[in-house]
A and B are shown apart, each in its own frame.
Chain A
Amino acid sequence: MFISEKYNLLQAKLSWHPFEKFTFFVAFLLGSLLTQNVLTPFLVVSSISAFFLYHGLTFKALLQIAALPMSFMLVAVVSIICIISHESFEAIYITQLGSYHIGFSQVSLDTGIFIIGKAMGAMFAFYFLILTSPIDEIEYLLRKMKLPNLLIELFVLSFRFITILLLFSRQCYLSQKKRMAYRTYSSSIRSLGMLVSSVLIKSLIHADMSQQALLNRGYRGEMKFLESHEAFLLKRGIIPLLLMICLLAIGQLRL
């Protein structure tokens, strides 16, 4: 299940126009990225977290969704915080391994925290958009942003067919597993190869039949759908604008 569907209670509760949600997303994103201090991203992360918790997301779920990007960021930011040098330097902590001095200084620590803060702020801004907007609203936003139709259609089809691909794979895997295909290392490798090839063949056949189904409903190279959303309220659109100005202003403070 996609993360946006696992926590779709927010989508059900927030019946705003997609543009209103998008303006909040832009405000949070720009506020996090165009900042000179770590306070603004911290405000973004905490306000979005408070919003999620208020609308029913559990603290455990919040930690789960934050864990994945956080783990990548921690791995990446270690290379920024950690200093390796032949010569000794002014540091909070330093150790020597052979001819190398390894440690971290106040400057490198501040830089690392600043980068983590910005990245987490941007990540939470994206989470705000994904968890409040169903996929058809995101598709609507992409159309309104005049993205090429081909890319949007690829996005729509990928979202739909990735679930089918996963279903095929799972069925094939279970069928193999029940016949002891993964009992030994060599049989596992062979079975995995057969799984990949069978899923590929099945996907190609499915794609061919899907194309026939599309043609039978008048597909001529362009996908047009019915669009139905809540009305756009200007006053709700002004709030994120003011929010963005405040975040940018706070972000310019040298703390």
Chain B
Amino acid sequence: MPYLELENISFEYPNQTLALDQVSLSIEKGQKVAVVGENGSGKSSLFLCLCGIHYGQTGRYILDGVEQKCKRKDKNKLFRKVGYVFQDPEVQLFASTVEKDISFGAINAGMKGKELDECMNEVMEMTQTRELRKKPPHQLSYGQKKRVAIAGVLACKPEVLLLDEPFAWLDNIQKKNTIQVLDDLHEQNKTIIISTHDINFAYEWADKLVVMKGGRIIASGHPKNLLEDESLLESSGLEMPLILQLSKKLNLDLRPNSMAEFFTV
């Protein structure tokens, strides 16, 4: 049974913009999912529905076998299972110091005393934010704010982590650090869903690719299978990953999984 399932979810904003149109999606526990699509295709709206901030006017949302409804106690349970890292970390950081901001979610999740300290240490170690603990958020660089935002959500110990464009405005080093965090979380069997415009990264990293357009999911499956389909790429406004372009150009039979693997071919 899938861990996370959307059945014909439709969501419309108050200004009558149809953000999601009969969206159905199923994700297994521990999967790495990349959601791709043009701007305005509904990726962020999908994430807001997955974390319970918005509820579809039609359809069902089932998480770990339990249907999620628009009730306060369901929302409270949902936040402990699904964490959402916003694209802009400024939106998320609000406390007077980094340490307080990270502890906020953990305390709301019911942690205290030794458990809280261990959680904080683990999360700050993972996101390399220990040395920033006493600093106010507005004194941090953008990359540091992103790490703190991720740490703040990780402190809630969610089973599913949603990251909206986690690499936006990050330099290469910060991007590598963030990828390392995602890999560490995957090893803990967390389900990770990211939205990204980096098709090369999505090809190398994801177990499942979801392609969106106009509020609908037009394709979902393994990136290797989907990203070779030129008609799909054209209709969804995506580009073929560089690895596949080079493989096709060089008439290679093999389809390498990553650039590193490509260089060994």
Chain A positions within 8 Å of B, measured between CB atoms, are 5, 134-136, 139, 156-157, 159-161, 163-164, 206, 209-210, 212-220, 223-226, 228
Contacts and interface: CB of A to CB of B under 8 A. Distances in A.
Interface string B124-141: 000000000010111100
A217 B95 contact: no
A114 to B, nearest CB: 38
B108 A218 contact: yes
B55 interface: no
Contact of A163 (B91, B134, B138): B138
A223 B107 CA distance: 9
A142 B94 CA distance: 18
Interface string B69-91: 00000011001100110101011
Contacts of B106: 226
Interface residues of B, number: 39
B261 to A, nearest CB: 37
A156 B101 CA distance: 11
Given A135-B136, A226-B120, A216 B51 contact: yes
B86 to A, nearest CB: 6
Contact of A160 (B53, B94, B107, B120): B94
B99 interface: yes
B94 A224 contact: no
B93 interface: yes
B179 interface: no
A156 B93 CA distance: 11
A164 B79 contact: no
28 contacts: A134-B96, A134-B97, A134-B136, A136-B100, A156-B94, A160-B93, A160-B94, A160-B96, A160-B138, A161-B94, A206-B91, A210-B91, A212-B48, A213-B94, A215-B53, A215-B79, A216-B51, A216-B79, A216-B84, A217-B108, A217-B156, A218-B79, A218-B80, A219-B104, A223-B95, A224-B107, A226-B116, A228-B99
A163 B52 CA distance: 29
Nearest to B52: A216
B99 A226 contact: yes
Interface in B158-207: none
Contacts of B10: none
A222 to B, nearest CB: 9
B76 A220 contact: yes
Given A5-B136, A5-B139, 9 more contacts: A135-B96, A209-B91, A212-B53, A215-B79, A216-B53, A217-B104, A218-B79, A219-B104, A225-B104
B94 A214 contact: yes
Nearest to A156: B96
B103 interface: yes
A125 B52 CA distance: 48
Contacts of A214: 94
Nearest to A160: B94
